[in-house]
Each structure stands twice: as structure tokens, then as C-alpha cells.
Amino acid sequence: MKIKFLGAAGEVTGSCFLVQTGNIQFLVDCGMLQGGREAPIRNRQPFGFDPSELDFVLLTHAHIDHSGMLPKLIKAGYSGYIYATGATADLLDVLLPDSAHIQEVDAERASRKPRSQQGRHYGLTTPIYYMADALQTLNHIKEIEYENIIDLAPGIKCRFQDAGHILGSAIIEIWITEGDNTRKIVFSGDLGQPGRPILRDPVFIEEADILVMESTYGDRPHRTTNSTEEEIVDIFNRTLPKGNIIIPAFAVGRTQEVIYQLLQLARHDKVNNLKVFVDSPMASKATAITMKHMELFDEEAKKMMTWKKIGTELPNLYFTESVEESQMLNKIRSGAIIISASGMCDAGRIKHHLRHNLGRPECAIMITGFQAMGSLGRRLVDGVKRVRIFGEEINVRASIHTIGGLSAHADQPALINWAKGFKKAPIHTYLVHGEANPAEVLAGRLKDELNWNVHIPKREETISFN
């Protein structure tokens, strides 16, 4: 048996793992690389395998860095099933067509540039895939329920468990039998932060021979809920009287949690009369899907039925749809909280709002999620003084705030606590979905405290198991 780490190895995005055993080979995730100038080029490179020879695909969750290359896979000849939870399937109905639309728009924009200005990026005038490929991909999704063990192929079965990261996210347990030997592989996917609003906590897994585990925040803890609330309230009080607050947020998961957080603050009279604009048609659809799957909420969210109270608790919550409505937001000079995608500030409507507010010292930018190396959001977090948006140089005068307490990823204490759920140490543990320092720090903690055998694979590295 072999595992080839095709993506999210030494980096956070681009999740893709090829498992080969006997005559069977399959993928876990097929995600898009995000952030940095090299991402569009790398995403266009051929797969390091023949898609037509894959037997099936297992998908941990719907985020584009885990699912975004599935249409490319279909386009390249894959014809089998893509196994995912029902909530993930619903989200893919929104996310994959949107991704295709972005590909087509970006390619058309690139084609308008003189070839002399395109340089090594000339190939970007062709989309990675088209809308037809995304729609065709949806026909390959096969929904499975949490906790059910299913047979995938002779000698291979799996079970999806709740990862608590976003709606429908899964930890995948896989049993592979070769001859008289059965090995259990566990892919953690992205693990959620315990105690976060809306979703249930990640399920603890008790046994694994091979563990492929995320390490995004493996080097640090998040701020406490109380500390996070105090920070948000302080930003609101200082900013809204004279300026706007811009919140880049992924349309799936993060936007809904930010709304929930604002709702909680309003219910406890910590903030009042907020004017909140969710400027993302995809976020509106994702919010509707979230409400459809209330069976996946944690007990507190179910008890409060919070989502049904949004209209009364946050009366000034608006979901904008049209381009004209979005453009009107940029005429507001103060008092607006604008939540918009993309979460890393590299595409979508958020770039327009940053263009109109970054240069204003009375405004604030609230970063609520992970920012990949090379992304515009990461540059803002790192303190860059000037950025280029739509060809315009903008001085960064707005205050930049990183609100780690709102992260949907497990922090270091949560990752270690989840690891302690194993009754005995996995024989092999591989840390993925992390940059070098977080992965190395987490590896050290797992080795020192739990006496685990931990390896941090490189991209394209293949591990063989006898």
C-alpha cells in the first residue's frame, strides 16, 4: 500500500492524497491551491496520476481547497463516484458552479491583456475548467451518512465521522484489507475548534494504524471566547461612529459563524443598532443550506433556535444580491459592517470593498480566518503598507485586526486533545494542512507528550507500507 501526498503537504491548501493498494487506487480530497502568484499555474498542471484509473474519491468537506479541483478531475476522465455527506453535497451545488464562474471570468479578464503583459502567466487565459464541468461533477456525488460503514471496493470500507469544521465536514476512517492484514487509515480532514458556535465538536477516533492529521494552527492557541468578544466590541465602538468595518469571510461556514457571533453580542446587549451587510450571493445560499441542516447543530444552537430569530435580534441584517446593490455599499462612509467573500481577499466582491476602505484610517479590516501565504489577506496580516487592487496602488491606512478566536480550525490545544482520544498511538502519523512552523511545533508536542512517531511529508512524497 502507498500514500502519495499530492497537496496540502508543507502548505495548508490544495488537499489531495492518492492511496494505492493492490489493484485499487483512490483519492481523498481533490482541492485547489489558494494564495500566491504560483497557485493559478500549479492548479493548471496535469494531475500526477491518470484520473480515468481511479476507483473512487472520498471528500472530507466542501471548501474549495479540498473540493475545487473535482471538476478538473471529471474533465480529465474520472467517471466514478465522489463520496461525501449530504450537507457537503448541498454545499457543492453552490461552490463548484461558483468556482467555475470565477475561472471563466478570470480567464476572460486575462485574455484582454496584451500578450506582452501576460508573460509567464499567458496560459491563465484558459479556465482550469468550465461551468459544464462543474455541473457534470455534481452528477458524480454519492451521499453517505455519518457513522455508517460502507463498502467501497473488495477489501476496502470506510466511515465518515463529524469533524465539526464546517457543515458536513468529515473525519474519514478507512479499513484496507490485503491478504490476512487489515490496516486502518484515518484522514482527519480539517478539524473544528471545540466549543465554537453552531456545529458539534469533532468526534474522537480511538484507533488508527496510519493517521493523516491537519496542523494549520499547530503552533498556537486561539483567544478565549470572552477575550474575542471584548476585542470585537472594542473594534466596533472605535470604528463605526466614523468608519466602516470590512470582514473578509468564506461564504461557507465563516460567514454564518460571524453572523451568529454578532447575534450573540446583540442578544446580550454588548452591541446595538448594528447595520450588517452580507455581500455575497453564495453566502446567502450557504446560509439557507445551513438552516436546512439544523440536525447538525450543537445542542446550544438547537435549543436557542437562533437562526430563526435573526430577523428580530439583528433587524438591520441585509443580504445583497445584485452587483448594483454591492456597488451602493461603497458609498457608505460610516456605520456599516460589510461581510464579503473571498475569505483570503484574493477574489470576489471583497476586493471592491477593500479598494474603497483600506485607504481610510477611520475604517477597520477584521480578519477572521486563515490566510494562505501569498494571499492579499496574508499580506495585510503581515503589515504591508501598500497593496495593488485592480491595478490601483492603495496605501493601507485602515487598522488591521486578526480575530483568531473566530477560527473554524482547531488550535494547538484542541489538536493535542483530539490526539489524546486515541487509545494507543497510531503506528505512523503524518502532519499535513500546515505551513512549516505550525507543523513542526505540533510534531514536537506529539512526540514529546504522547510519544508518537510523526513525519511531515513533502509535496509529491510517496510513503510505502509493507
Instruction: Report in angstroms the alpha-carbon separations of 339 from 47, 110, 269, 431.
Output: 35, 27, 21, 32
Closest to 300 measured CA to CA, from 166, 221, 201: 201
312 pLDDT tier (thresholds 50, 70, 90): low
- Please identify, among 406, 424, 451, the residue that sits at the C-terminal boundary of a domain: 406
- How many Cα atoms occupy the beta-carbon half-sphere of 26 within 13 Å? 20
Closest to 68 measured CA to CA, from 59, 76, 77: 59
Residues 115, 256 share a domain: no
Q: Is 10 left (phi over 0), alpha (psi -120 to 50) or beta?
A: left
Q: Is pLDDT above 70 for 95?
A: yes
Average pLDDT for residues 159-175, to the nearest whole number?
96
pLDDT, tens digit, 9 for 90 and up, residues 332-366:
999 999 999 877 788 788 999 999 999 999 999 99
Residues 445, 321 share a domain: no
Q: What nine digits make up the cell of 364?
A: 477597520
Say what the pLDDT of residue 121 is: 52
Q: Which domain holds residue 118?
A: 2-219+408-464
* Pairwise pLDDT comparison (102 vs 25), residue with the higher score: 25
Q: Is pLDDT above 70 for 308?
A: no
- Please identify, among 358, 375, 406, the residue that sits at the C-terminal boundary of a domain: 406
Say what the pLDDT of residue 300 is: 66
Q: Is pLDDT above 50 for 267?
A: yes
Let me know how long the chain is.
466
Q: Is pLDDT above 90 for 197?
A: no
Residues 206, 191 share a domain: yes
- Counting Cβ atoms within 10 Å, is residue 395 exposed (0-12), middle (13-18) or buried (19+)? exposed
| Amino acid found at 109 | R
Say what the pLDDT of residue 111 is: 80
Give the full edge-to-edge strand order of the sheet including 428-432. 149-153, 156-162, 170-178, 181-187, 210-214, 428-432, 454-455
Residues 111, 40 share a domain: yes
Closest to 221 measured CA to CA, from 372, 418, 369, 410: 410
User: Please, what is the average pLDDT of the chain?
Assistant: 89
Say what the pLDDT of residue 119 is: 46
Average pLDDT for residues 115-131, to the nearest whole number?
71
CA atoms of 268 and 404, how far apart (whole Å): 22
- Please identify, among 378, 406, 434, the residue that sits at the C-terminal boundary of a domain: 406
CA atoms of 452 and 460, how far apart (whole Å): 23
Helices and strands, counts by H and E, the chain: 16, 22
Residues 199, 52 share a domain: yes
Instruction: For residue 233, give the CATH number of its domain.
Output: 3.40.50.10890
Task: Give the list of residues 6+ apart from residue 416 with CB closer than 8 angstroms, or none.
Answer: 442, 445, 446, 449, 450
Q: Is pLDDT above 90 for 88?
A: yes
Q: What are phi and psi of 164, to 5 degrees?
A: 65, 20
Residues 259, 398 share a domain: yes
User: Which DSSP state fits 84?
Assistant: E
| Amino acid found at 34 | Q
Distance of CA 49 to the CA centre of its chain: 25
The answer to which of 113-127, 194-208, 231-245, 339-353 has the lowest mean pLDDT is 113-127
Residues 180, 293 share a domain: no
pTM, two decimal places: 0.85
Task: Give the list of residues 6+ apart from residue 431 with CB closer than 8 angstroms, or none.
Answer: 213, 214, 215, 218, 439, 442, 443, 454, 455, 456
Q: What nine digits make up the cell of 349?
A: 466582491
Q: How many CB atoms lie within 10 A of CB 163?
A: 29
Residues 246, 236 share a domain: yes
Q: Is pLDDT above 60 for 432?
A: yes
Q: Is pLDDT above 50 for 243?
A: yes
Say what the pLDDT of residue 302 is: 62
Residues 437, 352 share a domain: no
Task: Give the list of residues 6+ apart from residue 87 with CB closer than 8 angstroms, or none.
Answer: 167, 168, 289, 293, 296
Pairing of strands 16-21, 2-7: antiparallel
Average pLDDT for residues 397-408, to the nearest whole number?
86
Residues 267, 200 share a domain: no
* Pairwise pLDDT comparison (273 vs 205), residue with the higher score: 205
Average pLDDT for residues 158-181, to the nearest whole number?
95
pLDDT, tens digit, 9 for 90 and up, residues 135-165:
999 999 999 999 999 999 999 999 999 999 9
Count of structural domains, the chain: 2
Q: Is pLDDT above 80 for 422?
A: yes
Instruction: For residue 213, give the CATH number of its domain.
Output: 3.60.15.10
Say what the pLDDT of residue 161 is: 98
Say what the pLDDT of residue 287 is: 75
84 pLDDT tier (thresholds 50, 70, 90): very high
Q: What are phi and psi of 54, to 5 degrees?
A: -70, 145
Percent of the chain clearing pLDDT 70 (strictly above): 94
Q: Is pLDDT above 50 for 307?
A: no
Residues 164, 27 share a domain: yes
Q: Are 187 and 429 in contact (CB under 8 A)?
A: no
Residues 402, 443 share a domain: no
Task: Give the list of residues 6+ apart from residue 2 with CB closer than 8 angstroms, or none.
Answer: 18, 19, 20, 21, 462, 463, 464, 465
| DSSP-assigned states of every residue in 148-199 | -EEEEETTEEEEEEE-SSSTT-EEEEEEEEETTEEEEEEE--SPPPTT-SSB
Q: Is pLDDT above 70 for 391?
A: yes
